[in-house]
Amino acid sequence: MSIYDRFGVAPVINASGSVTRLGGAPMPPAVLDAFRDAASEAVSMEQLQAAASRRIAAVTGAEAGLVTAGSAAALTLGTAAILTRYDPGKMERLPHCDAFPHEFVVAREQRSGYDHAVRAAGARLIEVGFNEIVANAGVRRTEAWEYEAAFTPNTAGVLYVFAPHSQPPLADVVERAHHQNLPVLVDAAGELPPRSNLKDILATGADLVAYSGGKAIRGPQSTGILCGRRELIGAAAVQMLDMDDHLELWDPPADFIDKSWLGGLPRHGIGRALKVSKEEIVALLTALDLFASGAYDADLPQFRSWLETIAAAVKGLPVRCAIVDKGDGQSPPWLEVTLDEQGLGRTAFDVCRSLRNGTPPVYVSHGKLAQGTLVIYPLCLNADRAAMLGKRMGEELQPR
């Protein structure tokens, strides 16, 4: 019996990992306990976010940090902070910012649907570079000089989407941007593990970095982290917090928001729609501690054993199985099941759809369907779900 039965919604077996459309990563018991305990008392949100800032700073090496409503919210708030700094008039006007610099330079190859979060604050994206490799029309990727060549008096900053093989190197982009006194906002939402990325990305000199709290960190699905320069984090916080107070009474911790920098008390900012609850903040910080301490590494052998269970269940069927492991001792392995589509008489797309429509619904990762491959991520499985998933795959992969 699932609590979701009460609402007439069937729980699914999620073999897609921490994806948002299936509710993200499972929260460990300590995180759930923290959430429940935090809910039972009231607290000043400025003080709680200031405490979060100190914890995030300790883990990342940043000057300051903020718990946000996901990494996308962190991008909107980071953009807003860069656009307005501590100017309450600009804060009030967002997302309308024609009257001040509001362009963010971004590599064309780093554009994605997630940059809507940057545009939502009012910023306009200016693309540089090309997509020659994808177009099979050249061999070069975006180069650092192209950013600098695109800077104009209307440029507010740079957006950089961090990935293991992103180009040009972030440090080079930071150097070009800082040369013109422009800040760099980094989307590193899904770039954990490795744990070292908590510090290494900021160590390039990047001004603000956004991480998801509901992916590998296993905090509440609706949380994220924005960390970086104190002044920008303060400007982001002012635009997210509930500002219905009197300037004379409002007393945020000065190491988090320096009131003296503000020309007046702004009203609710653009981030007021992106609020996080005290429970979410406490739970995210608890999960961050677990993640940063390496506690999740102990789960890796179990993850692998579940993948082996699933691979064993489809043995002898017209598929080829491979367990893939980054080998960093931190990242969960995954299972790739490549179909003999001719032998089966069905495509990976067909099988993926049947699995979703079965009982219970099973969602395998759909990133390699075009290559005939179903991908199984173990993060949201357990022993029972792995056994059920293996059974359902065994049924669906019978030659017809």
Provide the terminal-to-terminal Cα distance of the chain, rounded to the nearest Å.
34
Q: How far is the CB of 171 from ligand PLP (least distance, A)?
A: 19
The 10 Å Cβ neighbour count of residue 55 is: 18
| Closest CB to ligand PLP among residues 216, 393 | 216
C-beta separation of 14 from 380 below 8 A: yes
Tell me the C-alpha distance between 383 and 322, whole Å.
Answer: 19
Q: Which residues bind ligand PLP (CB under 6 A)?
A: 20, 70-72, 114, 161, 187, 189-190, 212, 214, 224
Q: Which of 219, 189, 232, 231 is nearest to 72 (CA)?
A: 189
C-beta separation of 46 from 254 below 8 A: no
Tokens of 250: 């409002």
| Closest CB to ligand PLP among residues 183, 214 | 214
Tell me the C-alpha distance between 236 and 293, whole Å.
Answer: 28
In this chain, which residue has its C-beta nearest to ligand PLP? 70
Tokens of 6: 């009460």
Tell me the C-alpha distance between 78 and 189, whole Å.
Answer: 13
Q: How far is the CB of 138 from ligand PLP (least distance, A)?
A: 25
Tell me the C-alpha distance between 233 and 228, whole Å.
Answer: 7
| Closest CB to ligand PLP among residues 84, 221 | 221
| Closest CB to ligand PLP among residues 146, 187 | 187
Q: How far is the CB of 214 from ligand PLP (least distance, A)?
A: 6
**Is the previous residue joined to 168 through a cis bond, with omega within 30 degrees of 0?**
yes
Q: How far is the CB of 212 from ligand PLP (least distance, A)?
A: 3
Q: How far is the CB of 185 from ligand PLP (least distance, A)?
A: 12
| Closest CB to ligand PLP among residues 95, 190 | 190
C-beta separation of 378 from 307 below 8 A: yes
Tokens of 23: 């509710």
Q: How far is the CB of 96 from ligand PLP (least distance, A)?
A: 24
Q: How far is the CB of 274 from ligand PLP (least distance, A)?
A: 10
Tell me the C-alpha distance between 380 and 389, whole Å.
Answer: 12
| Closest CB to ligand PLP among residues 226, 397 | 226
Q: Which of 85, 54, 41, 42 is nearest to 207 (CA)?
A: 85
Phi-psi region of 37 (alpha: psi -120 to 50; beta: other; left: phi over 0): alpha
| Closest CB to ligand PLP among residues 93, 111 | 111
Q: How far is the CB of 70 from ligand PLP (least distance, A)?
A: 3
Q: Which of 204, 184, 182, 179 is nearest to 60 (CA)?
A: 204
Q: How far is the CB of 23 from ligand PLP (least distance, A)?
A: 11
| Closest CB to ligand PLP among residues 186, 313 | 186
